[in-house]
Structure 1
Amino acid sequence: MEHVPACNSRYKDVEYWDERYEKEESFEWFGDLSKFQHLLERHVHKEDNILVLGCGNSSLSFNMYQRGFCSITNIDYSGVCIETMAKRHADCQEMQWLKMDARHLAFSESTFDVVLEKGTLDAMTVEEKDPWNVSAETAGLIHQVLKEISRVLKPGGRFISITFAQPHFRKRLLACYEYGWSVQTHSYGAGFQYFLYVLTKGESLSPEDRALEDRLSNEKDLQAVVHLQEADSEDYLSRIGV
């Protein structure tokens, strides 16, 4: 692929995306709307107020707009992307294009019926070598983004996440009491499967997802205790006179 960076860490750099968007016309992660439209239309209504995170130069928002989903706000942290896409779709008067960081959404609570992302969370986790044990830095980043998504969703609103991450990996990040949503999984694609997660604000986690969240919380608590014990031991040893 022409625009693949030399190392995965560059996917986290806005400079990489600015450079890419200056050269690249369009790119679709995980297929265009036609591949998952049958799933999306079950959970997104034409009258919904929709936020698209990390919109990039994808045609997704425009394709949805053409099908009657007109109230769409697109954000990306690349100013080059936002300027280009705003000019490209200037005739779509009900669509907005805003330069914004997904970690700090400049919207009031309960603003959107739907928050949609396609590949944005994947770009944030691209450096991780072990999907079972995501680094504290990446987990903290994802947590910050998901908290913001939950905050701006209306009660009953849906966060829709489109990804290649399988449920046994991605649910470890999505299934959390703090976000106040349920987790539903769909898949699409022939041969290689992609996944569409629907997280509904105000619904409870399933028993299976509650058990997962409880287990992960216990693991974190145990790791914290072990870390403190190790620190105490080291401090104790440093005070021993020889």
Structure 2
Amino acid sequence: MNYLPDDNSKYKDVDYWNERYKTEQCYDWLGSFSKFRHLLENHVKKEESILILGCGNSSMSNDMYTAGYHSITNIDYSTVCINKMRARYSDCPGMTWHQMDVRKLSFPDASFDVILEKATLDAIMVEEKTPWEVSPQTACFIHQALTQISRCLKPGGRFVSVTFAQPFFRKRLYSRNEYNWSIKHDSYGEGFEYFVYIMTKGEELSPEDAALERKLLEDTKTPPSARIAPTHNEDKEDFLCNIDL
């Protein structure tokens, strides 16, 4: 069965995912856990409590469980997905599954040591035509999600974001003092390069990232007509073509 939608906007439609999950058994965006395990092990301890956002039917949760991470909470906004995954891994003590919106996490403050997402935020941004300027609607959605993520992290906790988005573009979303975290990144992959961002709760932004936030705030006060448009050919490309489907 071909699961690719006719239009990328379908990736934001829960009905599309519910239908897809009825028949699709497993799919891993941006590669399997084994591809970036060596990076994750530098930042996540086996005994820590982990929340996985937009888990889908990926093998990542089970692969992490097999690797020794036994305190894993999974959420997805598709009820079909959660019901199937809960049944599939019912023999994994410490692994739980919940239907939930990433913008409205129902967990108490400071609930997790680690919050992890892989391509979930990418899927939210599927209708964006360029990474240079995110639409107000998407920016609001992302901000709501990141605010909830920061709230649910323990002091010293880490938000791990795995994405195809390069630092020049993704840091524009993550560099905010109000999230109360620092930002580091690494990469993996052959052919396509994917990125792993590590945000540590309670640490300050680097001078570079703080300067980026100030510049972005200044840009929001400048009329769009007064901004200089990018001239590089690569800047005009549709960034969605880099998603590994």
- TM-score w.r.t. the length of structure 2 is 0.90
- 1:34 maps to what in 2? 34
Task: Give the C-alpha shift of residue 43 in structure 1.
Answer: 0.5
Q: Secondary structure at the match of 2:70?
A: coil
Structure 2: unaligned runs, 5 residues or longer: 227-245
Q: Secondary structure at the match of 1:222?
A: coil
- 1:113 maps to what in 2? 113
Distance 2:125 2:74 in 1: 21
1:199-218 residue pairs with structure 2 within 5 A?
199-218=199-218
2:63 aligned with 1:63: yes
Distance 1:223 1:44 in 2: 43
1:45-60 residue pairs with structure 2 within 5 A?
45-60=45-60
Q: What is the identity, as a one-letter code, of the residue corresponding to 2:130? A: D
1:73-84 residue pairs with structure 2 within 5 A?
73-84=73-84
Distance 2:8 2:55 in 1: 19
Distance 2:124 2:67 in 1: 30
- 1:185 maps to what in 2? 185
Task: Give the C-alpha shift of residue 223 in structure 1.
Answer: 4.4
Task: Give the C-alpha shift of residue 213 in structure 1.
Answer: 0.3
Q: What is the identity, as a one-letter code, of the residue corresponding to 1:27? A: Y
Task: Give the C-alpha shift of residue 222 in structure 1.
Answer: 3.4
Q: Secondary structure at the match of 1:75?
A: strand
Distance 1:33 1:88 in 2: 18
Structure 1: unaligned runs, 5 residues or longer: 227-242
Q: What is the identity, as a one-letter code, of the residue corresponding to 1:190? A: E
- 2:151 maps to what in 1? 151
When the two chains are superposed, the root-mean-square deviation of aligned CA atoms in Å is 1.3
Q: Secondary structure at the match of 1:195?
A: strand
Task: Give the C-alpha shift of residue 169 in structure 1.
Answer: 0.7
What count of residue pairs does the alignment treat as equivalent?
A: 225
- 1:123 maps to what in 2? 123
- 1:23 maps to what in 2? 23
Distance 1:142 1:200 in 2: 18
Q: Secondary structure at the match of 2:42?
A: helix
The structure that is helix-richer by fraction is 1
Q: Secondary structure at the match of 1:170?
A: helix
- 2:98 maps to what in 1? 98
Q: Secondary structure at the match of 1:169?
A: helix
- 1:232 maps to what in 2? none
Distance 1:3 1:223 in 2: 41
> Percent sequence identity over matched residues?
59
- TM-score w.r.t. the length of structure 1 is 0.91
- 1:43 maps to what in 2? 43
Distance 2:20 2:191 in 1: 29
Q: Secondary structure at the match of 1:199?
A: strand
2:16 aligned with 1:9: no
Q: Secondary structure at the match of 2:47?
A: coil
Task: Give the C-alpha shift of residue 130 in structure 1.
Answer: 1.1
